[in-house]
């Protein structure tokens, strides 16, 4: 991809109003000066911990730890890499970006994708005009209206009708799209009989699929009557990858990021739920729900509800999910639908409340799988119950959380009618045979921070927010003053005058250092004038001296004064000097406090 000019990246970052950008996803309220607060769009919370500092161009969530400048926000909320986040923001701001010279072939690749998106957009307009105005589309209009989707819904979702034969191909050719572009977008295909061009979708209702950025990248098409296949989808193209897209996610992502994703089977199910106000619904694009879909949804939420028909296909999708969700780290629930109903039917009969009732009946996927497993066994003999216990244990070992697994074991024991210890023993035996412990997860944060960590954080906060006051101290500090890699990285990024633009500095940091940086700099409390730099930096240096003294003492004990008197004397002299320096700093602090 061609590189965006650095001066334009900086200019756009300064021009874009971070409050306006964030407010489109989470309402903000002023909390003093140029600081605003709201609910975090990246995790569920009831008390606002998401803070935006308009003056500094930075944001930080004190709940989940995320933070950054306006580009980082767009990357997170729109799930975009940095260059595409810049381009997204430029489009929203009406800012013309300039690019550095591209390498051979880059312009061509960019041009192909852009042309395919343009062809898809032209096809979408053509299909919709046909649906709304063509006499041939009367049956399609009747079908959609029967599902509760009138012309306004059709316009909102850009639904269409594919007339047939080569009508679309002729339209695209008339608008200067080449035969190659039409075929590469899978909007048309060549006849093997005579090489003529014909439309991929013919006599079908068309459902455009959009990328997260809102561009139409492909289509799903439903046949009328008994025509087969019932659904036909775009083939893979340079802009359309079925396993990395979900129908409706461009609309649902904001709602999902505040709670849960609802996965349904069909396009009409997604539309019906959204139109009823259930805006977290998505579906796959003609492919089985797979690991890549879970990974995609994981970027927006930690909880997914599967709302599938109670048929063989729905059970198959649920079974596949059980084999995947634990690896992705998602909580998956199953919301059983009434027999013979799909989500759109439930909405038609009972409205949004009907769907909410189904949601209230959702159960964890592990529990659902346990029930299915135990139901297959006739529990009329001790041998049968023993077999049920063994089968239940094979399900339970997929649950990595020890506490949750313990509760599910009691649940299985009640279902089977055995002592809970029997299930626990079976699980332990199964774990011993197959379980591979992953080890404890280290966490750098601790509410009860050691004294030296608190001082290091105070020092970094001063260095990043009160740069005019610390020029005299900065040359006396070094990376040795800080005891963690993240804090050392943040210190390395600091130099006199380098932090004139906090939003710019944020782009140079690792995710961990960026989170720490925004935690220390966002909000009015970050520039607390009551904290005295001289005291903080004195304490910082005292902690460093104490670490060096400890090292010298350990080394001194290992040196024999008889065998190596010179080295012993040098180390002893250094130790005396370090201890004297420490005493002087402590006296100074006591004098300041007296």
**Same domain? 324 vs 374:** no
pLDDT, mean of residues 450-470? 79
Amino acid 433: pLDDT: 44
pLDDT band at 313 (very low <50, low <70, confident <90, very high): low
- For residue 239, tell me if it sits in a domain: no
pLDDT band at 490 (very low <50, low <70, confident <90, very high): confident
Paired strand residues for 29: 37
Instruction: Report the candidate in 1, 217, 229 with the shortest Cα–Cα distance to residue 100.
Output: 1
- Cβ contacts of 545 within 8 Å, gap of 6 or more: 578, 581, 582, 585
Report d(CA 550, CA 466) in Å as an integer.
Answer: 32
- What CATH number is given to the structural domain containing 316? 3.40.1360.10
Paired strand residues for 219: 208
Q: Which two tokens stand for residue 128?
A: 């919709």
Q: What is the pLDDT of residues 341-393, one digit of tens each?
A: 889 999 999 989 999 999 999 998 889 889 989 999 989 999 999 999 999 99
Q: What is the pLDDT of residues 67-97, one digit of tens each?
A: 889 999 988 888 788 888 888 888 888 888 8
**Same domain? 162 vs 296:** no
DSSP state of 447: S
**Same domain? 263 vs 323:** yes
**Dihedral of the alpha carbons of 560, 563, 566, 569, in degrees to the nearest 10:** 30
Parent domain of 546: 451-593
Report d(CA 521, CA 514) in Å as an integer.
Answer: 10
Amino acid 495: pLDDT: 56
pLDDT band at 280 (very low <50, low <70, confident <90, very high): very high
**Same domain? 161 vs 88:** no
DSSP state of 3: P
Report d(CA 83, CA 106) in Å as an integer.
Answer: 15
Report d(CA 432, CA 516) in Å as an integer.
Answer: 40
Amino acid 498: pLDDT: 47
Amino acid 238: pLDDT: 87
Among 39, 61, 93, give the residue marking a domain's end.
93
Residue in this structure with the two tokens 């809970």, named with its chain if needed? 420
**Same domain? 333 vs 408:** no
Report d(CA 458, CA 230) in Å as an integer.
Answer: 64
Amino acid 441: pLDDT: 26
**Same domain? 118 vs 84:** no
**Same domain? 456 vs 584:** yes
Report d(CA 197, CA 165) in Å as an integer.
Answer: 9
What is the number of structural domains in the chain?
Answer: 5
pLDDT, mean of residues 522-535? 68
Report d(CA 381, CA 374) in Å as an integer.
Answer: 14
pLDDT, mean of residues 259-280? 93
**How many Cβ atoms are within 10 Å of 222's Cβ, its own excluded?**
20
- What CATH number is given to the structural domain containing 378? 1.20.50
- For residue 328, tell me if it sits in a domain: yes
- For residue 279, tell me if it sits in a domain: yes
- For residue 111, tell me if it sits in a domain: yes
**Same domain? 111 vs 227:** yes
Amino acid 316: pLDDT: 63
pLDDT, mean of residues 557-571? 85
- Least-confidence region, from 49-53, 343-347, 521-525, 557-561: 521-525
**Cβ distance 481 to 453 under 8 Å?**
no
pLDDT band at 242 (very low <50, low <70, confident <90, very high): confident
Among 346, 361, 376, give the residue marking a domain's end.
361
Report d(CA 542, CA 477) in Å as an integer.
Answer: 12
- What CATH number is given to the structural domain containing 167? 3.90.980.10
Report d(CA 440, CA 40) in Å as an integer.
Answer: 28
- Least-confidence region, from 112-116, 358-362, 493-497: 493-497
Look at residue 100 and tell me whether its pLDDT is greater than 70. yes
**Same domain? 392 vs 508:** no
Report d(CA 42, CA 57) in Å as an integer.
Answer: 19
- For residue 445, tell me if it sits in a domain: no
Amino acid 122: pLDDT: 96
Look at residue 566 and tell me whether its pLDDT is greater than 60. yes
Q: Which two tokens stand for residue 560?
A: 């024999």
**Same domain? 156 vs 216:** yes
pLDDT band at 199 (very low <50, low <70, confident <90, very high): very high
Among 44, 70, 93, give the residue marking a domain's end.
93
């Amino acid at each position: 991809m061609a590189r965006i000019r650095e001066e334009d990246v900086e200019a756009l970052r300064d021009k874009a109003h971070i409050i306006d950008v964030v407010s489109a996803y989470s309402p903000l309220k002023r909390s003093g000066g140029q600081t605003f607060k709201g609910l975090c769009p990246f995790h569920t919370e009831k008390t606002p911990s998401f803070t935006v500092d308009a003056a500094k161009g930075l944001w930080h969530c004190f709940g989940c730890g995320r933070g950054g400048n306006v580009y980082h926000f767009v990357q997170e909320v729109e799930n975009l890499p940095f260059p595409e986040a810049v381009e997204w923001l430029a489009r929203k701001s009406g800012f013309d970006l300039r690019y550095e010279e591209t390498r051979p072939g880059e312009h061509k690749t960019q041009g192909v994708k852009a042309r395919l998106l343009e062809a898809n957009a032209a096809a979408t307009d053509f299909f919709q005009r046909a649906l709304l105005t063509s006499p041939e589309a009367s049956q399609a209009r009747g079908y959609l209206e029967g599902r509760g989707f009138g012309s306004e819904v059709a316009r909102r979702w850009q639904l269409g009708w594919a007339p047939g034969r080569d009508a679309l191909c002729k339209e695209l050719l008339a608008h200067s799209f080449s035969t190659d572009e039409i075929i590469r977008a899978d909007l048309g295909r060549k006849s093997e009989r005579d090489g003529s061009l014909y439309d991929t979708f013919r006599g079908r209702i068309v459902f455009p699929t959009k990328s997260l950025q809102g561009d139409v990248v492909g289509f799903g098409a439903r046949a009328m009557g008994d025509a087969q296949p019932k659904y036909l989808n775009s083939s893979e193209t340079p802009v359309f990858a079925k396993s990395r897209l979900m129908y409706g996610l461009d609309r649902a992502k904001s709602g999902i990021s505040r709670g849960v994703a609802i996965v349904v089977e069909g396009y009409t199910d997604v539309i019906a739920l959204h139109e009823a106000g259930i805006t977290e619904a998505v579906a796959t694009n003609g492919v089985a729900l797979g690991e890549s879909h879970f990974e995609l949804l994981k970027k927006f939420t930690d909880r997914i509800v599967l709302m599938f028909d109670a048929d063989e296909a729905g059970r198959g999708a649920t079974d596949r999910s059980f084999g995947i969700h634990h690896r992705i780290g998602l909580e998956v629930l199953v919301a059983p639908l009434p027999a013979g109903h799909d989500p759109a039917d439930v909405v038609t009969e009972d409205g949004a409340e009907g769907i909410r009732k189904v949601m209230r009946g959702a159960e964890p996927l592990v529990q659902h799988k346990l029930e299915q497993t135990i139901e297959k066994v006739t529990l009329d003999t001790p041998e049968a119950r023993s077999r049920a216990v063994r089968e239940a244990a094979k399900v339970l070992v997929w649950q990595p959380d020890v506490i949750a697994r313990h509760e599910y074991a009691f649940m299985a024991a009640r279902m089977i009618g055995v002592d809970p210890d029997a299930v626990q023993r079976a699980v332990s035996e199964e774990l011993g045979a197959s379980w591979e412990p992953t080890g404890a997860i280290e966490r750098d944060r601790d509410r009860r921070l050691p004294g030296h960590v608190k001082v290091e954080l105070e020092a970094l906060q001063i260095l990043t927010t009160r740069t005019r006051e610390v020029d005299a101290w900065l040359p006396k500090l070094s990376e040795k003053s800080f005891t963690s890699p993240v804090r050392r990285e943040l210190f390395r990024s600091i130099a006199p005058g380098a932090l004139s633009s906090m939003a710019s500095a944020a782009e140079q940091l690792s995710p961990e250092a960026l989170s720490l940086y925004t935690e220390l700099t966002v909000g009015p409390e970050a520039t607390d004038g009551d904290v005295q730099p001289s005291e903080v930096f004195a304490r910082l240096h005292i902690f460093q001296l104490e670490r060096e003294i400890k090292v010298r003492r350990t080394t001194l004990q290992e040196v024999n004064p008889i065998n190596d008197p010179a080295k012993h004397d040098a180390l002893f002299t250094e130790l005396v000097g370090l201890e004297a320096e420490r005493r002087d700093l402590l006296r100074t602090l006591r004098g300041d406090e007296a």
